[in-house]
Structure 1
């Protein structure tokens, strides 16, 4: 089991503590408030979602988020009792309220989203979304968007699960054809609710979310919908610290069986012109959890598509796409059959060209080194081809140029090991180029000691521990 969930406190209990500081300890209001905040923080209490004010001098109800929550709850009650008519005026009223709520909960660094969730926002929005009929499409899209914003931690995702939110969003997606905004917001809710919550992921899988998502990816109109790919990635990510053995790897195999890998490969064919290409790469990487799936992706033309995108990203100078495609290719190269296929398709040469185009960005070079590390593992012929293609010079130049890029230095050391451990001729080439001095320098960098020591040993130096 992972660490326990953070302790929380109600608004009433917080206000009472501040009041006790004033009445019992004689503190002035500002001092009482600050003391309460510091005391609870030291005790590990999560104060997000609590309005930090002095009772009597300011009112919780003055907070705009709380006001919107009260209005929202009133609307939901009216819908549930059939007291709200389906006319344009009422629909516009809901839209205005939800627009304000989305704006407040989108503010970076604020606690507005948590405040809304802690004050009944998850339950109210879920009820609203389940009650709105087809005439309120704009309101439904905004309600789902607001829900995706306020379901932002374990506590709110548990509230979402308990109030029937999982069934609600699945019913919306399974129902009559919806607008792109509604579908996009629905997928965003799936992603946010599933983040860090294994139970929610399981509940979605029980409702066959895998089949729903694969059909969505196949639909042409959804190809530029980032939240769709985010939902796939999140459901297949083992990110719940409470769980020792996640089930997501089994879910990935289920996704592959219903055709998700094939659908995502087709989505990648849109090329670098698609704004969602990095998200689609991340989704496919999450699906590729074993050798069989990795090979099937290659058989469907996945490696060809990725190498083409790598070429195009270099030509267009798109670093984000370059790194995303390299990360995906590295995952697929875990299959020995795919290693051979990548090299046969001139993958090593394409990667070295990419590095030269992004010679000013060590993060791209690091991704390239990561792929070469995998390609050279157990395959000395690949290691030889990499050196022949100029990788030795690239490695030495990069290690010289970016001495403070510790992660790239570490990856260079890991790559050097695989390039030389079965290729004695590569040792000579790299040593003659001055790599020993660079590895020894990397050895003193944070996080690089073990990788550098192993590289010195595998390159044939007896004093590798010095």
Structure 2
């Protein structure tokens, strides 16, 4: 873990280099940066200046904007009376976080009270001041990038303040989008913030918004669902998100998401909606429920349309979700009965030069053929063995493509010995051994594929 250091400690080290060691200003500054970096100090957000030569606001435009923002908010009594001035400053702050130096500017803002200032502004503004709140929430989401910033957000009662805004401003699509972007950013990598939002019943709010805003697309809402249900905090041994996913399913969010995919999601938001639904599908019961509510049919239709429109982002996201649903044995037959094999092979042919699409298709077929010799026979019959061979031939440098082809070959042959001869005659052994040598990530999958093809020297 990186060592925390304050701006004051950094300035003191530069000053010591100059006064005690006789270094000139530039040398003292460079030496302090190098020494602290070697010691493992976290210098993100530290303003690298020579103390006394320039004020922080002169060195960093972010500090200047923050100082002006705090002064303006304080002068207006926290009520945002100078609306245009405040909005302009907030938008400038957000612009600095989205510039080429955005990461460093965001870190400087966090170190200098930016999160607390924006949360306080949101708390004092009225819901009717939609433009001010929208700008403040968007700026806040741009600052929440790591555990340090999300902890400041939590300690400032950010989750409760944002939830109050979302509840009061649920008629405004722009306010909802900005607010849920903060939910997503604030929850990323922070289990405690996720728990705070769940304690505040964010799941019930999400369900209400999705039911009430039937003609509106709020993409950040889908992102918030995905992040809330992702176990991404490496400080936690056992995440609670599995239980959260079940809560989302139990109150009907999965069902509403399927309806959204069927009727109202804009193409730009569809991948996010698929990712949200995938994060809810954590067990067999939920996967079956999604399929029974029309999820399989919707996804297959989206896959057809993505192929026709050459939209690889939608194609990948739909295939990925369909693979998750196929983990339920009950759904395997439904997917195949609805033409899943044929439609996915058609998609692969449309994107034959895109290895990322081929990987998703092969991943789905791998799941569909798991423990199912009937499905493996059908897959070979319509051409998935050929797809595996061609993918390995066309993309030898793509380790993920090679690995996924090996995994699919395993399931095509492990319970279907008749398929082994066909694939070996097509050159599978040579391709698999080449992948094993070229890609360390393929070693285990390649060895297993060679073994299941009936070859004795599969570890060679």
The TM-score with structure 1 as length reference comes to 0.95
In structure 1, the residue matched to 2:20 is 24
Cα contact 1:310–1:322 (8 A) shared by 2: yes
CA change 1:225–1:75 in 2 (3 A) is same
1:109 Cα offset (Å): 4.4
Deviations 1:270-294 (A, max 9, x none): 4885210000011011000000000
Q: Please, which of 87, 95, 116 is the counterpart of residue 95 of structure 1?
A: 87
Aligned residues: 457
1:212 Cα offset (Å): 0.7
Query: Map of 1:243-254 to 2, 5 A cutoff?
Result: 243-254=236-247
In structure 2, the residue matched to 1:404 is 397
d(CA) in 2 for partners of 1:347, 1:222: 30
Query: Map of 1:98-117 to 2, 5 A cutoff?
Result: 98-110=90-102, 111-117=104-110
In structure 2, the residue matched to 1:324 is 317
Residue 422, structure 1, aligned to residue 415, structure 2: yes
With CA pairs under 8 Å and 6+ residues apart, which has the higher RCO, 1 or 2?
1
Cα contact 2:217–2:266 (8 A) shared by 1: no
1:112 Cα offset (Å): 0.9
d(CA) in 1 for partners of 2:84, 2:216: 30
Cα contact 1:384–1:423 (8 A) shared by 2: yes
Residue 78, structure 1, aligned to residue 75, structure 2: yes
Query: Map of 1:304-323 to 2, 5 A cutoff?
Result: 304-323=297-316
Range moving further from structure 2, 158-167 or 21-30: 21-30
d(CA) in 2 for partners of 1:120, 1:384: 62
Q: Please, which of 442, 445, 458 is the counterpart of residue 451 of structure 1?
A: 445
Q: Please, which of 281, 284, 293 is the counterpart of residue 291 of structure 1?
A: 284
Q: Please, which of 413, 437, 443 is the counterpart of residue 430 of structure 2?
A: 437
Q: Which structure 2 residue ranges, 5 or more long, are not aligned?
A: none
1:64 Cα offset (Å): 1.6
Residue 60, structure 1, aligned to residue 56, structure 2: yes
CA change 1:223–1:379 in 2 (3 A) is farther
In structure 2, the residue matched to 1:263 is 256
Give RMSD over aligned pairs: 1.5
Cα contact 1:355–1:368 (8 A) shared by 2: yes
Residue 231, structure 1, aligned to residue 224, structure 2: yes
CA change 1:330–1:108 in 2 (3 A) is farther
Q: Please, which of 330, 334, 339 is the counterpart of residue 332 of structure 2?
A: 339
Cα contact 1:95–1:138 (8 A) shared by 2: yes
Q: Secondary structure at the match of 1:48?
A: coil
Deviations 1:213-259 (A, max 9, x none): 12222333574222111100000000001001100000000010111
d(CA) in 2 for partners of 1:191, 1:271: 22
In structure 2, the residue matched to 1:33 is 29
Q: Secondary structure at the match of 2:438?
A: coil
Cα contact 2:170–2:176 (8 A) shared by 1: no
CA change 1:138–1:190 in 2 (3 A) is same
Q: Which structure 1 residue ranges, 5 or more long, are not aligned?
A: none
1:181 Cα offset (Å): 1.6
d(CA) in 2 for partners of 1:24, 1:357: 69
1:269 Cα offset (Å): 1.3
d(CA) in 2 for partners of 1:312, 1:176: 35
Q: Flag as ranges the 4+ runs of structure 1 deviating above 3 A.
A: 219-223, 270-273
d(CA) in 1 for partners of 2:23, 2:332: 69
Range moving further from structure 2, 99-108 or 172-181: 172-181
1:7 Cα offset (Å): 2.4
1:65 Cα offset (Å): 1.0
Cα contact 1:271–1:309 (8 A) shared by 2: no
The TM-score with structure 2 as length reference comes to 0.96
Q: Secondary structure at the match of 1:115?
A: helix
In structure 2, the residue matched to 1:8 is 4
